[in-house]
Chain A
Amino acid sequence: EAQVTQNPRYLITVTGKKLTVTCSQNMNHEYMSWYRQDPGLGLRQIYYSMNVEVTDKGDVPEGYKVSRKEKRNFPLILESPSPNQTSLYFCASGPFPQYFGPGTRLTVL
C-alpha cells in the first residue's frame, strides 16, 4: 500500500528540548515536504526536498531543520522547540498530487 508514515503521532515536550519527527514514504518519490497546519492559517510549507541531499526552505522555515540522506526518509528536526511551534505537522511526498502522512500533533510547553 502506498503510504507516508510519520512518527510520533502525538508529542508533548518542553521548550528547548531537541526533537525529531520522522517521515517515510514507500512510493519512491523524489519530492518530499513538510507543512504545518494552524487554525486560521491553513497549510504552510516549512521545507521541501527535490531529491536526496537537495533541500530548500518553504514559507515558514525558521526554527526547523531537515535532512534528506535517503530517498524514502525526510525527518524534521526542531533543535530548540518553542511554544510557537505548537502545531499539527504533515509530511508529504510527490508533487502532484501530494500524498500526506497522518500528521503529528506537537505541543511545546
Chain B
Amino acid sequence: DQQVKQNSPSLSVQEGRISILNCDYTNSMFDYFLWYKKYPAEGPTFLISISSIKDKNEDGRFTVFLNKSAKHLSLHIVPSQPGDSAVYFCAASEGTGANSKLTFGKGITLSVRP
C-alpha cells in the first residue's frame, strides 16, 4: 500500500513559468514532509521541508504548501529554470527522531523547456 503518492510521472513547463509538483499521502501520522531533487547519475539531494504545524515554507524560488485536511502537499518552483530539470521525490515521516523512517513517493520527472 503506497502511503506517499506522486500520481503524475512527468511534468513539462516553459522556462520562466511556474512548476507545480503534487504529492498526496494516506498516513495521517505523517507530520514532516520533504522534497528531494535527483539529477541523472547522482544521488537525491534535499531541497526543502515542511512540518505539519505549518502550511507553507519558502526558500528562494522553492515553496512547499501543505494542506493537512486534504493530505496533500505541493512544491512550487517560480520561475522555473532549465537547471531545475530533474526527478523530484516527495517524502514523509512520523516525527523527526532518531528512529523515524522516511517514506518516499515514486518521483516525478520535471522538464523545463528553454
Number of chain B residues whose Cβ lies closer than 8 Å to a Cβ of chain A: 26
The residue in chain A whose Cβ has the minimal distance to the Cβ of B104 is A43
Size class of the A contact interface (CB-based, 8 Å)? 20 to 34
Instruction: Indicate which residue in A35, A48, A97, A101 contacts B46 across the interface (CB closer than 8 Å).
Output: A97
Structural contact, A95 and B96, CB atoms closer than 8 A: yes
Structural contact, A102 and B43, CB atoms closer than 8 A: yes
Report the bound CA distance from A30 to B100 in whole Å: 13
Sampled A-B contacts (20; CB under 8 Å): A4-B43, A35-B104, A41-B106, A42-B105, A42-B107, A43-B89, A43-B91, A43-B104, A44-B104, A45-B101, A48-B101, A50-B98, A58-B101, A92-B43, A95-B97, A96-B32, A96-B34, A97-B36, A99-B46, A100-B43
